[in-house]
Structure 1
């Protein structure tokens, strides 16, 4: 399709993020051409993204690229792309579990899969890491049903529940749940836990870096001294994790953890890595939970751990996020035996988008 004719696009809220969803066949095959087009569609680089679809925040400058699966055991392939806001970049170095919530509905909307009665399950291969998730959602009458009664903190109102069950997320980016080989390490004089259950993360106790862990995102973003220290910790921890120089990438994330204050399991503040998440990402939540569940990890001693099958409740700036995570020892360390979450999604518009001309 010629760029001047517009590019088919479905704009959707997935979880607590918002992104532009595309069929792979509607975008250039050449990655450099694709990324240039996406930045012009999103209005990047510009802190307001005033000339594109982007919402002036990393959580609203996201892209999903979807196609029929190239393998026989999954239905669709999903590539997540994080598009910069004021910086000109597109990166595939991480997954996004929130945007993932919209992949099953998008696949049905675009005819990549067929409805399976009143409820449809779609197996999704996440190309960023090769792990798999199964999304199950309501499809009465063969159509996606977006309305429902599930509320997720960080999103107004309610919508239909989408169940996400993950496979193979432990170590999917770094090779191990605890990629340094230790449950805890000392980095820049601070005790940290480096953990990867789908989102490589560095867990740091808030009080170890002079924070309370209950600050608002804007307060944390305005603390230049704290941000410089966390950036140094992130770079050093990433080297221990085998990720090399991450100064130009969005992973690993740094997550400040502290004692819960609202009847949850633990309080979190997640850095993206500079902006602070208004909630916490799906894979970020699954990763924090997996790390904190293990004894001697950072956060384990301040967490009010669930029992009797209760969910692991992560407190965040706009409420809480409940996940179902279980870990167990294996021959060579720790493994994750269960990773699941409930999310919602909503179709916002479906049509064609016109890219900004090249500058």
Structure 2
């Protein structure tokens, strides 16, 4: 399924091995990791198309389903289940209804999703006329051709998704190697950096940023140290925290930003990254808040990214911050995936 600006196979948890190591070996085989083209699998040779959603019965008392996200690296044979993915999250509600995990309602169906990676709850509202998900519609999201039916995602209590704290270091601004940063954990741990501090504007293309190896090496050194400051330990083999460059908007938005995955610049912007950056814009003292200026909640933050814009609505429900975004999703294929683990063929329904 395509979910937002990402794509990957979506599995029922019961169709995958229970043992995490064996499960990861199966996923590496199915995606074809270990080759930059992922020629032996379903991956598209890009981090955005090498993702997996695993959906099953809920283990949280307030949820309808569990969702485990797996970022399957392209060249390295590594599966990372430390982060969430908000784009693939948009596939979970429709998939759960299609597979009978949730009963579809007459018009719209609200599915409360427990993200196993972070422990976070997200409410997805799916268009379900006659109780079945529809995928055609008029909603357009930048980075995806055409239009589709909207999937509303409301992140419930976004603060401290991985570290337990909105500001994991205890400060709105820290300093690493002479560069000011803001570490924030809202849906996704982020390291927010003003682009100008690294000699950039924040409006560069992903190709331009990826090609500047001195810049990318410097960004990675900052990320590694930020991971330690955030209490995440050695993050050299993890995809969190994610670096985000910010700058002044160029096309009427609230802020311009570039999101890294973390070793390549995203060609659009991650949903969880948008939630995190939007929350940073509403958190006094952070670099993002200083750049966009003070404003009361509810607040609408429009982030300009390489493929256009993404909008996130920041609000507060009681003492907990919430954030909402709109995505679309599309089923692409349903069938059998073939994997090979330790020389043994494995056949899985996907």
Distance in 2 (alpha carbons) for counterparts of 1:351 and 1:228: 41
Residue in 2 aligned with 1:202?
A: 191
Residue in 2 aligned with 1:60?
A: 49
Distance in 1 (alpha carbons) for counterparts of 2:149 and 2:54: 23
Distance in 2 (alpha carbons) for counterparts of 1:301 and 1:30: 46
Q: CA deviation at 1:353?
A: 1.1
Residue in 2 aligned with 1:22?
A: 11
TM-score (normalizing by structure 1): 0.92
SS of residue in 2 equivalent to 1:314? strand
Q: From the superposition, tell whether residues 327 and 240 of structure 1 become closer, same or farther in structure 2 (CA, over 3 Å).
A: farther
Q: CA deviation at 1:358?
A: 4.8
Give the counterpart of 2:110 among 117, 121, 125.
121
Distance in 2 (alpha carbons) for counterparts of 1:90 and 1:217: 24
Q: Does 1:228 align with 2:217?
A: yes
Residue in 1 aligned with 2:259?
A: 270
Q: From the superposition, tell whether residues 306 and 356 of structure 1 become closer, same or farther in structure 2 (CA, over 3 Å).
A: farther
Residue in 2 aligned with 1:341?
A: 325
Q: CA deviation at 1:18?
A: 0.5
SS of residue in 1 equivalent to 2:289? coil
Q: Which runs of structure 1 show a deviation greater than 4 angstroms over 4 or more consecutive aligned residues?
A: 304-310, 356-359
**What are structure 2's unaligned runs of at least 5 residues?**
344-350
Give the counterpart of 2:279 among 279, 287, 290.
290
Q: CA deviation at 1:169?
A: 2.2
Q: How does 1:134-145 map to 2 (within 5 A)?
A: 134-145=123-134
Distance in 2 (alpha carbons) for counterparts of 1:313 and 1:121: 25
Q: CA deviation at 1:155?
A: 0.3
Distance in 2 (alpha carbons) for counterparts of 1:135 and 1:279: 21
Q: Is the contact between residue 120 and residue 136 of structure 1 (CA under 8 Å) also seen in structure 2?
A: yes
SS of residue in 2 equivalent to 1:311? strand
Residue in 2 aligned with 1:316?
A: 305
Give the counterpart of 1:94 among 70, 83, 91.
83
Q: From the superposition, tell whether residues 168 and 295 of structure 1 become closer, same or farther in structure 2 (CA, over 3 Å).
A: closer
Distance in 2 (alpha carbons) for counterparts of 1:73 and 1:302: 37
Q: Does 1:158 align with 2:142?
A: no
Q: CA deviation at 1:307?
A: 7.2
Q: From the superposition, tell whether residues 115 and 62 of structure 1 become closer, same or farther in structure 2 (CA, over 3 Å).
A: same
Residue in 2 aligned with 1:147?
A: 136
Q: CA deviation at 1:88?
A: 0.4
Q: CA RMSD in A?
A: 1.7
Q: CA deviation at 1:266?
A: 0.3
Q: How does 1:168-247 map to 2 (within 5 A)?
A: 168-247=157-236
Residue in 1 aligned with 2:348?
A: none
Q: Does 1:355 align with 2:310?
A: no
SS of residue in 1 equivalent to 2:71? strand
Distance in 2 (alpha carbons) for counterparts of 1:202 and 1:98: 20
Residue in 2 aligned with 1:84?
A: 73
**What are structure 1's unaligned runs of at least 5 residues?**
1-11
Q: From the superposition, tell whether residues 320 and 336 of structure 1 become closer, same or farther in structure 2 (CA, over 3 Å).
A: farther
Distance in 2 (alpha carbons) for counterparts of 1:101 and 1:258: 28
